Each structure stands twice: as structure tokens, then as C-alpha cells.
Structure 1
Amino acid sequence: MDLGSRLTGLNKSQLRRWMLLFFLALLIPSGVLIQQSYSQLKWEAFHRYRVQAEELTGRINNQLNKLVDSETLRSFTDYSFLVVAGDTTANFLQRSALSAFPINSDIPGMIGYFQVDDQGSLTTPLLPAQLKQADRYGIAAEELMARQSLQSRMQQILSQNRLVVGGTPGRLMATPEIKSKPIRPDTSVSLESAAPAELANKLELRALKDVVPEHEVEGYAKQEARAPTLQGQAAFDQLNRADVQRQPAKKQILSKSIGRVEDLKLDKRYEAKLAEEQAITALKEKLSQQEQSAIRRERSVMPAPSAVVEQDEAVADSSAMVQSGVRINTFESEIDAFEFSLLDSGHFVLFRKVWRDGRRYIQGMLIEQGPFLESLIAGSFSETALSEMSELLVAYRGELIRTFGGKRSDRYYASVEELSGALLYRSSLSAPLNDLEVIYSISHLPAGPGGQIINWVAATLILIMCGGFYLMYRLGLRQIALARQQQDFVSAVSHELKTPLTSIRMYGEMLREGWASEEKKRVYYDYIHDESERLTRLINNVLQLARMTRHDLQLDCRPVTIAESMDGIRSKITSQVERAGFELNLNGDAANSDRQILLDGDSFSQIVINLVDNAIKFSAKSAIKRIDISATIARDSQVVFTVRDYGPGVPRDQMKKIFRLFYRTENELTRETIGTGIGLALVSQLTLAMKGRVDVINQQPGAAFRVSFPLLPPKDER
């Protein structure tokens, strides 16, 4: 079975179905290939940004380590107002570096330094032992009030978080000489309740309001009314114990928390590929934290408390104090590494435990959470390319406390359900801030230039496939139509050949047998002649079509005058028109009859004969049986031959289709006119072969077919 018969057996629905299967057979593998390529680029981009996240976390760690290291190097005596400087035998005293006011620290959000002894009494390096002698150290009354206010705020924060007993804000709690049993690091001290103390005086309360936020001042009295008395430093021992569940007094953490880390709905498909790498990184971090937790020993000197009190009467210099006879105590201290914790009030506390003479002291500092995280973490994050495609989440012991969006820092998340994306990198900071965890969540992972290329390739491929599918579908429809038209052509040719042959044979037999009278013989001979010419035209068309199909068309174009071409038309079609009962009207341009054009005589005659034959067929039932043929010269140096009939004309939607091969305006089963559907197609092809063009316009009434050929220059101009 050949292709033509196969196409003839298909309809539009079946063709669409087969074309769709073919399209999907190409689209699915191409889509899988593009998806795999894009996924690989995404993975490479993920790994690249992950490396950036690791480097950023390393920089944050290094910056924090430098700050902690600088605080670690501070001596035990730095947390006192007065320290011994230089040679101890010189009895040279000066103010501690931590006694400067305002607080000057490299740690963002620093509130102040404090020290808590084994009885739970709070002191700070801001105030001397005797407040009334503060002016002798260069501290003015206004500055003294500010220092007392800051110490009151620190007292209030620590007592609010039940780390020290509530005391009088701004008043230094004296440390009694108590002989007690040394407290071991693992010993827990029981909690006892105690009544709160009254505020000292209006001056201290006003100073407290000047420094402390209003909500903290209002909460101070409420907190004092219900906070239990804590002896010693048991609360500090419980801060970082995992087995102790601390209940925040006012649930500040819970109110500010976004949610738990385990509740994050982050896509971990990329992170799963890096499980082994994560395990190695976690092991290195653990070893590093163990190395940093070593105990440091130092030898310190400081004036005896009673000697400082006695010396206050003779102090004259605010920057340095030298007094003979000052008793200097020399001792050895064991200083633990710093610990870090988030208080119930939302403040950070960085503290260490110091052992001296069997007694333990807590030394540390209070830090505002917001400025600390904004400066050290968000500041570094916003300067990197990570901020353009990821969110940075900060968690403390599994509780999300802050989110940073970099370039989109104005975004606010009210709950953990709003956080989405893919997990890029997750790591705890180094000790002592190892309870803080940074989590990078990808909100938008760009694939880079390679991804753009793949997108363009995918879009181009889809367009090409869709365009190819559409064109192939149109081509298939045309081939189906062509196959059916070829079948119709065979039927039409058979009919066109059979009818005149049958008539010729019938009239020939009648003449041979002598059944026709002398009057009828002339009519029969004319009919046989007309039918033989009709067969000749049909055969010539078929032979011409065969030559054109084989690309074997050969034309012999020669210069012919317009007058000669019109004479040729008259001789070829006059009898054809008259026998059909039509009137022929020839109109040539007499003024330009000697102008020449290049024509192949036989092909031009076949063009005119086909046009006239077409006009006769479609205007056979018209009221005006006339055919007009004219030759005129257009403005663009073209000779236009026009063949006009007075029939029904050509429908507008078929004006271009009628020049297609095998196309017929009527259905093959119901058509009333004869013909094979190749006459006008041959007209178009032959005209193009002679560098002309053909078109059709409707007239009122009828239709006019115009054939144009380029006009040759006059002989004297060649």
C-alpha cells in the first residue's frame, strides 16, 4: 500500500491523534533531559551558595571568637573599680578599664559588666566601694547618678531573671566576711524565698527611669513582689543545664519566639546529599569546642577591702592613687571558660566562673539581643549575595528567635508556617555561643547563566516542536487533501476521456454504417472535430502536468509583439468559443501593438485556451454569453492579458485556492461542471515559468483573469 492510499484512509481526527503521539514522544524525553540538566545546575548553584554560607558562618565565628577572646584575657581584678597597676611593691592603684562610663565595648548591645559573689551579691566596676567619695575619683554627681541607674538596670534584669536576689537599685550590696565551705562546681544550692526591699530614694528611682525602658521599670516592682530569694549562684549553674526546664517568669521568650526549628517545613533534598559532609563538620566543631573549654589559671593582686576604705580619705589624684601602707592581697585564681545563655527577659548573658580562696565568683556581662544579632550576624549577612536568595534564621536551643532577610529585611514572619524554601546550611556557632544556631533557608535559588541558557534552549525547543507539530499537521492535512484530489483527478480524467470517446465512437459508427443523412453528416463531423480538440486539450494538460511534476518543463521563449500574440489567440480559440455559443470580443492596444514580450508560443496558447475553457464552463448558464479578451500596458511596464466572462464570479475565499493543483470549487459527487482541476494550476505554473504572474478579480457581473508579462524595451533602446 503506497503513501497516497494510506493518507486517503486517514481523517483529521486520526491525523491529530498520531501527530499528538509523535509530539509527546519527542517532548517527554526532551523534557526529562532539560529537567535533569536544570537540576544539575541547581545542585551546583546550591553547593556554591552553601560554600558561601559556610564561609560567612566562619567569618561570624571568627568575629565572635575575637570578641570573646578579648574578654577572656581580662583579669579577675578588672571587674573591680580599683586595680593594682605595675609593680605590686609600689602600691600603685588606678581605676579599672571596665569602670569607664559610658560603657565602651567592642561587643554590640553591651549593657554592662557585673560580678556576683558566692552569697549572690551583685557588684559592678562602675561604682567605688564608698559612693560618697565618688567625686574624689573624678565622678561628678550627674555621672554618678547615671552609673547608679545603669547598675540598677543590671540589678533589675538579673533579679527579674532570678539570677540574683532583688536589692535596692543603685546601691552596692556589701559583701560580709563569711567563712563558708567552698562550693564545688557540681554542687547545687537550694532556693529560698525572701521579701523584696524598698526602693532607696527618689533620686535613684528617677535615674532608673532615665536609663531603663519604661516597661522594664514597671515590671521591676511586680517581679520583686514574687521573685524567690536565691542564695549564692545556683541560678547561674542552672542556666545551661539541659536537664533543667526553666519556666520564664513573664514568658518573654515564648512571646518573641517564631517557633521551633523542628517545625520548619524546609525542603531538605539538597541537604540529604551532604549528610556525610555535615557529620565531618559537626565532629570538627565538637573537637574545637572541647579545646576551648580549658580552665585558665592566673595570679592576681588587688588591694584589701579595708585598705581601700582607709585610703579613700587621702585620695587626691583621680587617675592614679599611690599610698604607702596599702595592703595588697596576692592570690591565684582558676578561671573557667565563658558560658553564654539567653535569659527569660530576652537579654544575652556572657559569664564565667572564677575560683579564688575556695570561693566562687560569677563575672560576666549583659547584652541586648537585638543590637548584638543585628551587628554581628545580620550585618555580615546583608553584605553577601546570600541575602538576595535566602533567609537567615537564628535559633537558640531549637527555638527560632530571629529572622533576617538581607535585601528583604522588611519582611516579618509571625509564625514558623510562613517560613518555606530549601535548607541551604545549618550550623551552630563555636563555643561559648554554641547554643546559637544559624540556619540558611533558600527562598529563591538562581541557577546562574547556565540556567538562563537552559531556559532559552527549552523555550526555543518547545517553540520549534510546537511550530514543527503545527506545520507537519498542516502538511499532513494538505497531503490527505492532495491524495483525495488525485483520486478525484483520476476519476475526472477517466470521465473526461470516456465521454468524448464514447460520442466520437457513436458518431463514427453512424457515419460508417450510413445511417446519417447528408444534412446530419456535417453536424456529426463538426461534433467529432470538437470532441477530438477537447481530447487534445485534455491530453496536453495531462502531459504538461507530467512534465512539470518531473521538473522536465522546457520553454522556448522568444520576443513576440502584442499584435502577434492577439492574432494567435484569435486563431486558437475562435472556433472553440463560437461552437460553445459564446461571443468573442478581442480588444488590443493598437498604439503599442508593436511592443514585444518574451513568450513561449505553445505555453501561452495553452494558458489562454485553459482560461477560455474555464470561462465557458462556469458561465454556460449566464444571461450574457460573451468572453472579452484584452491586452493593455500597465504603468509598471507590464503587458496585461485579461480574459473576462459574465458568469457568477469566484467566491472571495477561493480566489487563491483555485490555482492549486487538483482543486475544484465543487464537490466531486455533486458537481455540475466538467473538468479535471488542473487547468488553472497549469495556467499559474506556466505563467510563473515565463516570469509572469496571474490573478483574478470579480467584476459586475463575472470574473476577470489577468495574466501579466514584463514588457521588453523598444528595439532602439536595447
Structure 2
Amino acid sequence: MARSALNSLSKNQLRRWLMVFFFVLAVPSGLLVYQAYDQLKWEAFHRHRMLAEELATRIDKGYAQLIETEERRAFVDYNFLVVAGDPNSNFIQRSALSSFPVRSPIPGLIGYFQVDSEGVFKTPLLPDSTLTASEYGIQADELAQRQELANRLRAILDENRLVRTEQHEDREDELTEAMITPEEVPLSDRTGSLYSSSTESRRNRDRKITEEGEKASRGYGNKHEIAAGQAVFDRLSEQKADRPSKALTGSNILGRVEDLQLDSSFEAAQAPMRQQRMTPKAKAGVAKRTPRKEQSALPEPESPVTPPATMAAPQASKPAPLRIRTFESEIDPFEMSLLNSGHIVLYRKVWRDNRRYIQGMLVEQSAFLSGVMETSFRDTSLAQMSELITAYQGNLLTAFSATMGERYHSGTEELHGALLYQTRLTAPFNDLEMIFTIQHLPAGPGGAVVIWIAVILFLLLGAGFYAIYRLGVGQINLISQQQDFVSAVSHELKTPLTSIRMYGEMLREGWVVEDKKRDYYDYIHDESERLTRLINNVLQLARMTRNGLQVQLKPVSAGELMDLIGSKIESQTARTGFDLKLNASPDCASRTLQVDPDYFTQIIINLVDNAIKFSAKAEKKAIDIECLAQQDSRVVFKVRDYGPGIAKDQMKKIFKLFYRSENELTRETVGTGIGLSLVSQLTTAMEGSVDVVNMEPGVEFRVSFLSE
């Protein structure tokens, strides 16, 4: 049934059917591979998301540890001199914050500062006088450097209107009128050494101070600059994450978080793992941040202190005697804000004697963000496939890339990828947001296995269908060649049999004169030999098809083989009008070969018969058979004609079974297409080789065997 189907199937039809079958198998296989790879991608996303969560927690803890040290600092540490040990001992020493250069575990720390209730700037870097500085081993050059750093701190605060400027020092009375008066303070706040312990009352006072400061700014022209040190800090405190934040401007701002063109398909598909963007998940072990009270002792001069800005020259007189004052202060937790200048300010509010002080530090933004975030980020595998973006109140600040460190982008259009994880730090850095984006998501070892399996599967599938196609085409060609062979054999058998029968009847009936009988008998003999060769070829083909080819090798000299083939083909070439030339060199005739004489004779007869058929119209009708001995102990038998030769594209095809260079319907030569195939297979069976070479003119077949 399959053979009959192939008989009615063309090559184009076979190609179309195989393509249909290929896609029928390839599409489900591709979908299966895609689903497997996609599942691995989701698992990889979840795995890297967990890494991002762990990294965010580690970064948050790192910043929490940095701020924890600062939280424990006493109110008096922001002064140049502090009381050591028992206050009654009157032992004075330098504060830990007075060291220079400034040393702190906080990355990018510029220096510490304090702003009193009147907006006056102070820093623990500078003593109350140059004379005190010399007493504590501070030389003039170091003092100048300290003054330079203090001026830098003051300039940054002044640029952001957080301190009182010098031009308004003569307006302290106006400030007093604008600020809250003691009568306005509740009685409970004015009795005792410290502001009331009620948090609500303290918040009301903060709000009232802010309102009064703003009121002063509206009512007294430039007086708001005097109160700016308190009012602006209050406004900074009001910029909470749960309130709409404004877009900052400046070279250090890349854009807004909502402008990021991030692919959120991964994040949206994993709803159970999503976290709220505005607040991080609760971190175990983080203590609740509440105000604290402390007892402090501070040395105070009996005479007024000269402001640091006026300390241009050392004083010749002795410093005023110091007295130790003990007091109680209430300290709020630290808060963080990003200034318009691009600096980070960490500050806290301290209440002492019904007055509020602002104590804090100024930090370089880039160093502060990269000091903990980038270092921790680069130590993880996330650095190979993702980008860490930091934002403050929705404003993009920096973007850390795996291979390039901090990338300086010009805008949000350069920040792209898939959203991996988004969270905020805990207080006081709760306005800082970390956004992890995926630049390329590795599927991991499992993904590589799936890809290799998919490649191998499709290669095998393609190779299998190509092999099936080649096999089908080969079968179609074989069926076509067999049909041609049957037609050729029918023609080759029918023509001589008809002639033999006709001449035999004429001879039997006596219709032939005596002088023609000899010609008729010769014709009947030649046609009989031709039929014999044809039948032998067909029988040989049948034996080879059934793997029944039996070769009987015998030691025969090359000279004997030349004599044998001469007697077999001499009459054949003579009756067809061809000149036969046999030539065997002396060293060749003596060589002994292991061959089957019958098969060898059949090989040469087929080659001569092929030469007669294809050079019948040649100008020179001659066939040369030559025997030559080669240096590698091989003997070559050459059969040459002087016909048109063989096209180069057909020289490797002529030894194929049933192959004919002419169309079966238009061919001009006789034959079945199995002669040269038998030559090749019989030669190979006797461990020989056959080759064909075009000559000028004609073609030469070379059959070689190994001699003993």
C-alpha cells in the first residue's frame, strides 16, 4: 500500500505533506518548551526577588546601625567641651564630635551642627574662643581648617535658609516679638527644668513655633530669615511619605518614579509576593523610635559667649571661669531630609529650658547612598542582572548598575527594564525608596538545560524529517528508475527476440538464399550474446539485491586476463565497426591478481558495451584497453573511447543503479542503466576501485586491483 501511495506521490506533494507533519509536531513541542522555560523564568524572578528583599533588609539594617550610634549621642556632645564623669569634679574635656578631620561611620559625612532657638549656628568643631583652642592643643593652621569646614557647613545651611544670617543679628528684638513668649507657654512647661513630657504638648509647641515664624515672615518683611532656622526645620518634618511630594529640580534629580517606563508584568503576576510601595514590611528587632529624656551637664562661661563668626583673632585675656550646669533635656529621634542643594540633612529636635535646639549633621548625597547601597548591591548576584534605583519622595536620585557602578543618567527614559522589587527604608530614612529593575533575567541552570533540550529536540526533529524526505525522494526516484528499467529491459528483450524470431522463421521456411544465410546466422548469434549479457546483468542485479553475491577469488595474472577479455570482446567490437586495441606492459602482464575471472570479464564487457553505445557517432570509432602497473603494487585496467565524454555533474551519478543521463522517452542509446552500477559493485566486491576521467576526446574508465 505504501509503495502504491509513493507511486502516485510527487516530490512536491511529499514536501508539502512532510512540512504539515513537521509543524503539527513542532508547534506543540515549541509550546511545551516555551511553557517550561517560562515557568523557569517565573521561578528565577521569584528567586531574585527574594534576593532583592534580603538585600533591601540588609541595607536597611546597615543604615539603622549607622543612625543608632547617632541616636545615643547626648545633647552636650554637640558642644566643643563636655563634662567628663561626675559633674561635681568639674573635669572638662573635648567632645567626641570635636575631632578633626571629622571621622564617622556615616558615609559622606561633612560635619555636625547645632541651631539654637534663635537660629544661631554652632558646631562642635570650634571652641568658644581661640584661647580655649590653644589650651586644647589646636594649632593655628588646624583652627583655620576647622573654621573653613565650619564656614562650609554654615554656607550649606544658609543656602537652604536653615540658619540666621549675620545681617539680621541686630533684629533679635523683632524675633522675640515674632516667636512665642513665655506667657504663651503653658504653666506646666514653665515650671521645672525641662519642657513637659507630654508628646502632644510638644507637638503643639512645634506647630505654634512654625506658625509664629511664618507669621513673623508675613508681618515683618525679612524677619522670616531670623526664624528660618526653626520654621524651615518644621516644614522639613511635615514632608512625610504619606503626603503628596513635589518634584525637585536640579542636576542631581533624574526624574520622577511615576515616569519610569518599567515593565510590571512580572510584579503584577506575582500578587502574593507584592509589597506595598509606600511602607516596607515590618522588620523584626527594630525598636520603636520614641523621644527620650536625659540628664546632662554642660560647662558655661559666666560672661556671654562670643559667636564663632567673630573669632578672628586670639584674645589676650584669660577665659572666663566656667561653671557646671546640670539640666534635663528631651531628645526626639532623628529625621532625614534632602535639601535643595542636594545635601542630606539628618537632624533631631532637643528641648532644654523651654527652648528648642536643632542638632544634626550634613551628608554628601552620593557618598551616603553609595556607601552602603552600592557596596551591598555589588556583593550579590543581583549585580549581574539588575539595576538598583534610589528615590527620595518619588524623585529619582541615583541608579547603580552591575557592571558600570553608578550610572549617570540624564533622565527617566534611560532607565528601563522589568520591575523586580520596590520598598522603602525604615525611619528616619522612610522617604528613601529602593527600586530593583531587571536588565536581563537569567533562567539559571534549569533554563540552560531546557534550551539545550529544545535545540536538540528541534535539530533531531528537523534532521529526522529531512532524512524522511530524502528517503521518500529516494524511493520516488527508485520507483521511477525501476519503471524506466522495466521499460528498458522490455525494449532490450523485445527487439532482439523479434529479430531472432524473424530471421529464424525465414531460415526455416527456406526464404533465404545461400549467400545471405551466413549473415543471418551471425546476426542471430550476436543478438543471442546481447541477450545473454542482458540476462546476466539482470541476474547479477537480482543476486546483489538479495545479498547473494558470491565472489570466488583466484590468483590470475594480468596477462591471462587481457587474453581472456580479448577473446570475449573482439568479435563484438569488430561487428560494430570499432577498432580494438589491447596493450599490456611487460611488468603488468606478470603481475598476479586475486580476482574472479567471470566477474572481471563481465566488468570489462560492460565497459566496452557502454563505450560502443555512447561513441557510436564519434568520428573515431576505436576502443583502447590498456594494462599498467603502478608503484603502489596496484594494476590498472583502462578502457577508453573517443566519444563525447561525460558531463562533470554526472560523473558521480553514472555508477548509481538505474541511472541514465538520457530521458527514457527521448533517449537515443540502448541499455538498462544497470551496467555501470554492476561494474562499481563487482569491483568493490573484489576489493578494487573504479574511476572515470574525461579525455580529449572521449572518456576513460580505470579499474584497479592490488597485485601480489
TM-score of the superposed pair, with normalisation by structure 2: 0.85
Counterparts of 1:39-188 in structure 2, within 5 Å, are: 39-129=38-128, 135=134, 138-167=137-166, 179=182, 181-182=184-185, 184-186=202-204, 187-188=207-208
2:264 counterpart letter in structure 1: K
Answer yes or no: is the 8 Å Cα contact 2:280–2:424 preserved in 1.
Answer: no
What RMSD in Å do the two structures reach over aligned CA positions? 3.6
1:233 counterpart letter in structure 2: Q
1:349 maps to what in 2? Answer: 345
What is the CA-CA distance between 1:543 and the residue it aligns to? 1.2
1:179 counterpart letter in structure 2: P
**Cα separation, 1, equivalents of 2:305 and 2:347:** 28
Answer yes or no: is the 8 Å Cα contact 1:120–1:232 preserved in 2.
Answer: yes
Answer yes or no: is the 8 Å Cα contact 2:330–2:350 preserved in 1.
Answer: yes
| Matching residue within 608, 613, 616 for 2:609 | 613
In the alignment, is residue 329 of structure 1 matched against residue 326 of structure 2?
yes
What is the CA-CA distance between 1:302 and the residue it aligns to? 2.8
SS of 2:617's partner is coil
SS of 2:654's partner is helix
| Deviations, residues 545-580 of structure 1 (Å, cap 9, x unaligned) | 111111111122222222322232123222222222
2:281 counterpart letter in structure 1: E
SS of 1:681's partner is helix
58-67 or 397-406, larger mean C-alpha shift: 58-67
Distance 1:168-1:458 versus aligned 2 partners, 3 A rule: farther
**Cα separation, 2, equivalents of 1:657 and 1:173:** 113
Distance 1:112-1:181 versus aligned 2 partners, 3 A rule: farther
**Cα separation, 2, equivalents of 1:480 and 1:346:** 81
Answer yes or no: is the 8 Å Cα contact 2:301–2:321 preserved in 1.
Answer: no
Distance 1:678-1:83 versus aligned 2 partners, 3 A rule: same
1:221 maps to what in 2? Answer: none
What is the CA-CA distance between 1:490 and the residue it aligns to? 1.0
Count of matched residue pairs: 674
2:613 counterpart letter in structure 1: K
SS of 1:233's partner is helix
Distance 1:672-1:225 versus aligned 2 partners, 3 A rule: farther
What is the CA-CA distance between 1:266 and the residue it aligns to? 2.2
**Cα separation, 2, equivalents of 1:316 and 1:47:** 70
Distance 1:682-1:169 versus aligned 2 partners, 3 A rule: farther
What is the CA-CA distance between 1:376 and the residue it aligns to? 2.4
683-692 or 365-374, larger mean C-alpha shift: 365-374
1:74 counterpart letter in structure 2: R
Distance 1:63-1:484 versus aligned 2 partners, 3 A rule: same
SS of 2:613's partner is helix
SS of 1:494's partner is helix
| Matching residue within 371, 376, 397 for 1:375 | 371
1:408 maps to what in 2? Answer: 404
**Cα separation, 2, equivalents of 1:601 and 1:180:** 139
Distance 1:129-1:173 versus aligned 2 partners, 3 A rule: farther
453-462 or 91-100, larger mean C-alpha shift: 453-462
**Cα separation, 2, equivalents of 1:169 and 1:546:** 122
Counterparts of 1:704-715 in structure 2, within 5 Å, are: 704-712=700-708
Answer yes or no: is the 8 Å Cα contact 1:156–1:169 preserved in 2.
Answer: no
**Cα separation, 2, equivalents of 1:710 and 1:225:** 118
| Deviations, residues 645-693 of structure 1 (Å, cap 9, x unaligned) | 2222222222221111111111111111111101111111111111111
What is the CA-CA distance between 1:128 and the residue it aligns to? 4.2
| Matching residue within 431, 443, 459 for 1:435 | 431
TM-score of the superposed pair, with normalisation by structure 1: 0.84
| Deviations, residues 113-159 of structure 1 (Å, cap 9, x unaligned) | 22233443433333445677655555555545544443443333233
Answer yes or no: is the 8 Å Cα contact 2:642–2:698 preserved in 1.
Answer: yes
| Deviations, residues 211-260 of structure 1 (Å, cap 9, x unaligned) | xxxxxxxxxxxxx9897554672322221434777879xx6x44421121
In the alignment, is residue 551 of structure 1 matched against residue 547 of structure 2?
yes
What is the CA-CA distance between 1:85 and the residue it aligns to? 2.3
In the alignment, is residue 426 of structure 1 matched against residue 416 of structure 2?
no
**Cα separation, 2, equivalents of 1:313 and 1:172:** 27
What is the CA-CA distance between 1:351 and the residue it aligns to? 1.2
2:610 counterpart letter in structure 1: N
Answer yes or no: is the 8 Å Cα contact 2:109–2:361 preserved in 1.
Answer: yes
SS of 2:660's partner is coil
Counterparts of 1:232-381 in structure 2, within 5 Å, are: 233-241=230-238, 242=240, 253-272=249-268, 274-279=270-275, 285-286=281-282, 291-303=287-299, 306=302, 326=323, 328-331=325-328, 333-381=329-377
Distance 1:126-1:597 versus aligned 2 partners, 3 A rule: closer
**Cα separation, 2, equivalents of 1:583 and 1:446:** 79
**Cα separation, 2, equivalents of 1:117 and 1:180:** 20
1:520 maps to what in 2? Answer: 516
Report the identity percentage: 54
**Cα separation, 1, equivalents of 2:406 and 2:116:** 44
2:581 counterpart letter in structure 1: N
1:579 maps to what in 2? Answer: 575
Which sections of structure 2, spanning at least 5 residues, go unmatched? Answer: 186-200, 307-313
Distance 1:638-1:227 versus aligned 2 partners, 3 A rule: farther
Counterparts of 1:494-505 in structure 2, within 5 Å, are: 494-505=490-501
Answer yes or no: is the 8 Å Cα contact 2:587–2:629 preserved in 1.
Answer: no
What is the CA-CA distance between 1:369 and the residue it aligns to? 1.0
1:649 counterpart letter in structure 2: G
In the alignment, is residue 510 of structure 1 matched against residue 513 of structure 2?
no
**Cα separation, 2, equivalents of 1:417 and 1:247:** 20
1:534 maps to what in 2? Answer: 530
2:430 counterpart letter in structure 1: N
What is the CA-CA distance between 1:395 and the residue it aligns to? 0.6
2:93 counterpart letter in structure 1: Q
| Deviations, residues 322-368 of structure 1 (Å, cap 9, x unaligned) | 96xx352332x332211111112211111112233443332211112
Which sections of structure 1, spanning at least 5 residues, go unmatched? Answer: 198-223, 713-718
SS of 1:554's partner is coil
Answer yes or no: is the 8 Å Cα contact 1:15–1:473 preserved in 2.
Answer: yes
Answer yes or no: is the 8 Å Cα contact 1:619–1:625 preserved in 2.
Answer: yes
**Cα separation, 2, equivalents of 1:360 and 1:374:** 33
| Matching residue within 620, 627, 633 for 2:623 | 627
What is the CA-CA distance between 1:305 and the residue it aligns to? 5.9
